[in-house]
Amino acid sequence: MNGTRPGWLALRQGQAVDVSSIPLVDADDFASHMLAGRGRGGRLANLFGRRLPDGGVRLFAFLAFDTDARIEVCAADLPHGKLTYPSVTAHWPAAQAFERELAEQYGVFPVGHAWLKPLRYHGTDDGSAAPWGPFEASEPIPGNYPFYRVEGEEVHEVAVGPVHAGIIEPGHFRFQCHGEEVLHLEVVLGYQHRGIERLLLHPNATRSAIVAETIAGDATVGHALAYCTALEALAGARVSLRASALRGIALELERLANHVGDLGALCTDVAFLPASAYLGRLRGEYLNLTLEICGNRFGRNLLRPGGVRFDISTTMADSMRERLRRLERETLEVLDLMFSQSSVLARFEGTGKLSEERADEIGMVGPAARACGLRRDVRCDHPHGVFQFSHIPIAVETTGDVYARAAVRWLEVQRSLEFLVELLGNKPEGPVFEPIGRLRPNAMALGMAETWRGESMHVAFTDEAGKLAFLKVKDPSIHNWFGLALALRGVAISDFPVCNKSFNLSYAGHDL
Amino acid sequence: MIKTGIYGLLRVLSWLPPLPRTCALVMVAFGVVSGVLGVLYALAQHDLKRLLAYHSVENIGIIGMGIGMGMLGGALGKPALVALGYGGALLHVLNHALFKGLLFLSAGAVIQATGTGEIDRLGGLARKTPVNAAFFLLAAISICGLPPLNGFVGEWIVYGALFEGTRSVPRLSAGVSALGVVSLALMGGLALACFVKVFGVVFLGKERTGTRVARATPGAMRAGMGVLAVLCVAIGVLPGLIVPLTGAGVQVIADLGPMEFERALPSVLAPAGRLSLLAMVFFGLIATLAVVRRGLIQKNAVALPSPVATWGCGYAAATPRMQYTASSFAWSLLSSFRALLCPERRLHAPAAVFSEAAHLESHTVDMAEQDLFAPLFRAASRVSRMIQTLSWTGEPAMERRSARASERLRPFVAVVVGATAAVRRGSIHVYVAFIAFTLLVVFAIEVWVAPGAEGHSAPISVMQGAPQ
Amino acid sequence: MTVLRAIGAVPEAVAVLALPPMLLSIIAKTKAWFGGRDGPPWLQPYYDLMKLLRKGVVYSRTTTWVFRAGPIVNLAALLCAATLIPVFSDDTLLGFGGDVILIAYLLALGRMLTVLAAMDTGSSFEGMGASREVTFGTMSEPALFLSFVVLALATKSLSLAEMLGAPLQAAWGDVAPAMLLVVAALLIVLLTETCRVPVDDPATHLELTMIHEVMVLDHSGPDFAYITYAAALKFLLLGSILVHAALPHASWALWIDAPLRVVELAVLAMLVGVIESSLARLRLQRVSLLLAGAFVLSGLAAVLTFYRTHA
């Protein structure tokens, strides 16, 4: 690997390494070590902790170097009784959610963190106090949360959620407003915390794959793909090209369904009826294609470590191509209508702007980051499986507003459709499923996937017996929620729904 | 207090011959400016009493518009316009006294009960002082000119005058009248916004910091308010009784025979008694709907284990800060009119990724105070300083020159300075004295200038003894 | 005599009162057609009202009598206005000289009490709706009154029945452009006052963007039925003014007039449905510009009329 620096271990996605080969740095130097990595062009892809047997916590940091498909990892040990270290967030805001998670899970105190508040509202794993004090389960969530306030008698607060008017997930939004203007938005989540990472360690690998599919229901294939990639890497298994292609088809169908649905929902939010109705129907059509492959509209039970469980016959592929061609025509027609309607564009343009610097600083990923001009796409940057052979160009916009987020989706819809039509006509041959063997002991592997929301990352650790010992899941939403809060400053509160929909982040994925 | 000026104006008008059309139009224009700016500034206020004071400015505007239309009628020789304009103005003077009195008493009760007049510190008073709240609401409906209360009757007649004015022949007068209609509509809407803001924030919703220790309204105060409230309702429901009385007033101001007034009104508006019928229909409908609702609710009663909270998206720890503040309520309207009144907002907004301390406060500078009166007062106090230092010798040349000038104008300057100082200090006696003095001056001018003019026999006869 | 007239007006009144929910149904059907859907049944608004009337009521502990009075006074004010506005024929039940002002102020009274009922809940959502409602209500009022000025000038009357009757027909012949502008201004006022796209979105479920719906978030049961019906009635009344202003004619026999006006109102409802289907909502800050536009339209109409009538 070129460009590796001391104190870092370079790896690629789908690659397993020995846990012992991950370099350890001193906890006090951890932050500066990370900042040096940032200086070399690294992007904070993950930062998490793992409880050590002696009660201490080992921190793992993953920096992504997107231009040369490289991930660098380092670790630092916090001894039991002294779970503090200088915070990374103080200099690099991208770490804020991760360090809050550390504080919440293990009671680690990142000194100098400017926004140290509960992330998911649960107690630490051993019941010790988090930096903000002990967790009180009797309090209504998040009744005693230290909300930020804009002072002044004339300011009013708007508290939205946890129960929302639409069929969406629970979350609490606290606006500091004057008149119609939002001065500040604080997003407080945690209502959906299920303990996914513990559930994933189920001894039966099949059960664990089912859990991985439920991390974020609308990104079933994306998370399953990252999970499978990580496990296959640990087993040293190679998936056949045909299975990889099928995974790619499922992933892009998921992207199409969600992007089309989101664009329709954006139209609903600005009361542009025709596009909203047609895109809503078209979303169903894309979901039905997935249904035809695996019997589930959201692609459940399709991906398993070792391949996919359903094959597509040639006749089926032909009929799917046929339908995709028709859907492509219809979808692009409706999207043309939507993007040529000046009353729609008037609502989108300039709403909820986020600058490229801000987006980079807080480490955003996915379409929301690409809308700000950041070229980040796992399919291109860290290609694995079918994406190593057929490339999908990155769709980038620069304005960072609702329009840009919608336009990125529009472009991605077009490109996914092209990709699918091509791949369905030209599937490689081979078996679709081969059970994976035993996992390599004392190893770590990582799997990434560009879900339709952005980068998901599963990091798996095995113990000395080759059993799955620890699994860390990262949903793209954990990067992006903070971006939504920042984009809302100074925006009219009536534009919040359309802003929120343009990000369309996952609550369950954030709360895990 | 302000009504004294109106009284003076009307008295003077009653002695003068019909003034030229321009004067009437200027009067209407004054009414428009005073009305619209008055209500806009009222909307921007954070203090209950200041807010009500600005509403007086608005109501003077409405009265001014009525008087202006009356003057226009005089100038154009249209008795209908005279009757409606002056009639509406006079009625509004009376109505304003009633509902504004009620509002000030009610606001006084609020301040007495809570110790503060800051609107954004109050809240939820309707549960602690329900009677006072009812009186305030009644007066608020009335001051917004809404039926079926007295405020509507007055504005209805003024509207009648303005609509009639749009039919007058010179296009300019017609245009000004149309402007008057539009402004009155705008003022009505803004007044509604303003009183919804006040009543909604002070009396409704959850209690804010200032209302924790609210005391009940004293009985004597309630009785006083009750009388005013009854009068407000009575005039609103039975305008047929009071409108003819204003006819008498109009006859004094303008040379209009009783029959002429009687005939003038119906040519534009229906007899005011017609409003009584509608009021009865309205109250009948309310009663019917209320009875039906009661029946339905009793039939389908819901048994709740405990009192429920307002829907708050399932959030269990709601605070009083989570309701609209008066300032937030008015802000979108104020910023729509920012060309007229420059609302200012001192906002230290969160800007960094992790928000630091932030603060917001807004206020609207009174342009009349800042750009007109303040320089005026500053100039006046400079002049008065000059007057005081007249006897001094060691003055700079320029100031001596102006001092010499002011020596010639000394009596006049003294009057102006005294008047402005009195207004500034708010000493009522001096103010009244100056009004009387001004009236006298106008009177004198009238007597010297007017002998050639025709059609004002009665006032002249009073002035028989004056030097000719 | 008056009694006889009142009895004669009963069937007409019943028809007027039964019509409003159907207009909403026509809008919904039009929108459904544009969206490629079947839409709800034709009688759905009536079913909804019946359902609400049979339901119990839940009151928040924050509310006072103002909250309970809001829906009643609002509906009473609109019903009262209904006696003054010509719907089927040119005649009204209780119309009189100067009733235009009363009509506008009755609408304002209904608005005031609705808004206060919203403020009574102490919820920031409803405060938000209240603030928006009074802001846009205030701004639509000058346009409405200026339109009234034009109509009054053109017909030399201050009674709405006459302002929209046969004399207006002559005015259309005289100053057609001005009348056209007035109709356009009245359409904008109608869309604003009845909370339709592009001002408000009656179909949305998002508290933060709504105007009318968010104000009535806490009302339930018969109270909510009153509010829903009052909203439909407001559409009918303002729609009638618009239809009469656009297509004035002297009264014919009621059996010709009534079906004709119903058809015209249905066409208006379809037009509103088409507008809702072809336009996205305006940004809230832009609504005041739309209303300023309505004001300018009626202002131009006034100038045109002045030049004609004051020649």
Report d(CA C237, CA A117) in Å as an integer.
54
Q: What is the mean pLDDT of residues B411-420?
A: 53
Let me know if residue B308 belongs to a domain. no
| Structural domain containing residue B132 | 3-277
Statement: residue C212 has pLDDT above 50:
yes
pLDDT tens digits for range B191-202: 999 999 999 999
CB-nearest to B309 from C60, C109, C207 is C60
Q: Does B273 touch chain C (CB under 8 A)?
A: no
Domains of chain A in start order, with CATH, are: 9-141 (3.30.460.80), 196-502 (1.10.645.10)
Tell me if chain C has a CB within 8 Å of the CB of B201: yes
- Across the range A165-177, mean pLDDT stands at 87
- pLDDT the model gives residue A97: 92
**Hey, how many other C-beta atoms are within 10 angstroms of the C-beta on B20?**
12
CA distances from C50 to B290, C194, C222, C234 (A): 17, 22, 9, 19
Rounded-to-integer distance, Cα B27 and Cα B61, Å? 9
Cβ burial of A494 (10 Å; 0-12, 13-18, 19+) is buried
> Are A75 and A24 within 8 A, CB to CB?
yes
Smallest Cα–Cα separation from C111: which of C242, C282, C230, C240? Answer: C230
Q: Mind listing the pLDDT tens digit for each residue in A49-86?
A: 999 988 899 999 999 998 888 999 999 999 988 889 99
What is the distance in angstroms between the Cα of A256 and the nearest Cα belonging to chain B? Answer: 32
Q: Which range (B5-9, B109-113, B229-233) has the least confidence?
A: B5-9
Which structure tokens are listed for B151?
């405020």
Return phi, psi of residue A173, to 5°.
Answer: -115, 130
CA distances from B401 to B392, B397, B398, B412 (A): 13, 6, 5, 17
Whether A219 contacts A367, CB under 8 Å: no
- Residue type for position A11: L
- Asked if the Cβ–Cβ distance from B317 to A361 is below 8 Å, we say no
Last residue of a domain, one of B243, B262, B277: B277
B319 contacts chain C (CB < 8 A): no
Report yes or no on B360 lying in a domain.
no
Q: What is the DSSP code string of B204-262? A: SSS--GGGTT--PPPHHHHHHHHHHHHHHHHHHH-HHHHHHHHHHHHHHHS---HHHHH
Kindly determine whether residue C206 and residue A281, on different chains, have CB atoms separated by under 8 Å.
Answer: no
b/e sequence B64-78, b meaning 16+ C-beta within 10 Å: bbbbbbbbbbbbbeb
Query: Mean of the pLDDT values across residues A369-391?
Result: 89
Tell me: the pLDDT tens digits for C244-299?
999 888 777 778 888 899 999 999 999 999 999 888 888 888 888 889 889 989 98
Confidence of residue B386 (pLDDT cuts 50, 70, 90): low
Nearest to A489 by CA among A499, A502, A476, A479: A499
Q: Is residue B165 domain-shared with residue B24, that is, in the same domain?
A: yes
Angle between helices B171-202 and B21-44 (to 10 degrees): 20
Q: What is the pLDDT of residue C40?
A: 93
Q: Using an 8 Å Cβ cutoff, are B132 and B222 in contact?
A: yes
Compute the nearest-CA separation of C43 from chain B (Å). 22
Q: Is-contact C283 A345, C-beta < 8 A?
A: no
- Which residue is it, tokens 């971006």? A483
A221 band by pLDDT with thresholds 50, 70 and 90: very high
Contact between A166 and C277 using a beta-carbon 8 Å cutoff: no
Mutant choice from A174, A178, A191 vs B, greatest count of B C-beta within 10 A: A178
Asked if A282 contacts A331 with a C-beta cutoff of 8 angstroms, the reply is: yes
Mean pLDDT, chain C, rounded, equals: 90
B158 located within any domain: yes
Give A338 to chain B, closest Cα distance, Å: 30
- Over residues C33-83, the pLDDT tens digits come to 988 889 999 999 999 999 999 999 999 988 999 999 999 999 999 999 999
Percentages (nearest 5) of helix, strand, coil residues in chain B = 75, 5, 25
Contacts of A128 (CB under 8 A, 6+ apart): A107
Query: Comparing A238-252, A425-439, B376-390, which segment has the lowest mean pLDDT?
Result: B376-390
Chain B residues closer than 8 Å to C295 by CB: 182
**Per-residue model confidence (pLDDT) at position B462:** 35
Give B1's pLDDT tier (boundaries 50, 70, 90).
low
Res B188: pLDDT: 94
Q: What's the total number of domains in chain C?
A: 1
Q: Is the peptide bond before B239 cis (omega within 30 degrees of 0)?
A: no
Residue B451 has pLDDT above 60, yes or no: no
Contacts of C205 in chain A (CB under 8 A): 165-166
pLDDT score at C77: 96
User: By C-alpha distance, which of C25, A148, C104 is closest to B192?
Assistant: C104
CA distance A257 to chain B (A): 29
Contact of B64 with chain C, judged by CB distance below 8 Å, is answered with no
Q: Which of A157, A339, A494 to mutate to test the interface with C (most CBs of C within 10 A)?
A: A494
The Cα–Cα gap between A295 and A308 comes to: 13
CB-based contact A480:A428 (threshold 8 Å): no
CA distances from B236 to A337, B151, B272 (A): 55, 7, 10
Strand duo A181-188 + A172-178: pairing: antiparallel
**Per-residue pLDDT, B211:** 64
pLDDT score, position A487: 92
> Which of B221, B250, B277 delimits the end of a domain?
B277
pLDDT at B399: 40
- Hey, are the CB atoms on B323 and A178 less than 8 Å from each other? no
For residue B429, pLDDT over 60 is answered with no
Quick one: pLDDT band at residue B258, thresholds 50, 70, 90? Answer: low
Last residue of a domain, one of B251, B277, B303: B277
Please name the amino acid found at residue A473. V
Q: How far is CA A406 from CA A103, A259, A411, C11, C283, in A?
A: 35, 9, 9, 54, 17
Q: Are residues B267 and B375 in the same domain?
A: no
User: How far is residue B441's CA from residue B448's CA, in Å, rounded to a whole number?
Assistant: 11
Mean pLDDT, chain B, rounded, equals: 79
* A501 and C CB contact within 8 Å: no
- The domain tally of chain B equals 2
Contact between A373 and A356 under an 8 Å Cβ cutoff? The reply is yes
ipTM of the complex: 0.94
Q: Taking residues B389-415, what's their average pLDDT? A: 44
Query: A445 in helix, strand or coil?
Result: strand
pLDDT higher than threshold 70 for residue A477 = yes
Who among C61, C134, C217 is closest to B308 (CB)?
Answer: C61
Which residues from A are below 8 Å from C35, CB to CB? 273-274, 276-278
Give yes or no for residue B348 having a pLDDT over 70. yes
Residues of A with CB under 8 A from a CB of B: 93, 96, 114-115, 140, 143-144, 148, 150-164, 170, 172, 176-181, 183-184, 358, 361-362, 486, 489-490
**The pLDDT of residue B412 is above 60:** no
* pLDDT confidence bin for A207, thresholds 50/70/90: confident
Output the pLDDT for position B444.
Answer: 46
Q: Which domain holds residue C92?
A: 2-309
Do B218 and B106 lie in a common domain? yes
Per the CB < 8 Å rule, is B196 touching C116?
yes
Please, are residues C190 and C238 in contact by the beta-carbon 8 Å criterion? yes
Residues near A17 by Cβ (< 8 Å), separated by ≥ 6? A9, A11, A443, A444, A445
Cβ-based contacts of B329 with chain C (< 8 Å):
127, 130-131, 134
- For residue B338, is it within any domain? no
Distances in Å between the alpha carbon of A250 and those of A377, A386, B26, B114?
A: 17, 12, 77, 66
Quick one: tokens of B274? Answer: 């017609």
pLDDT at C48: 95
pLDDT, residue A4, reads 62
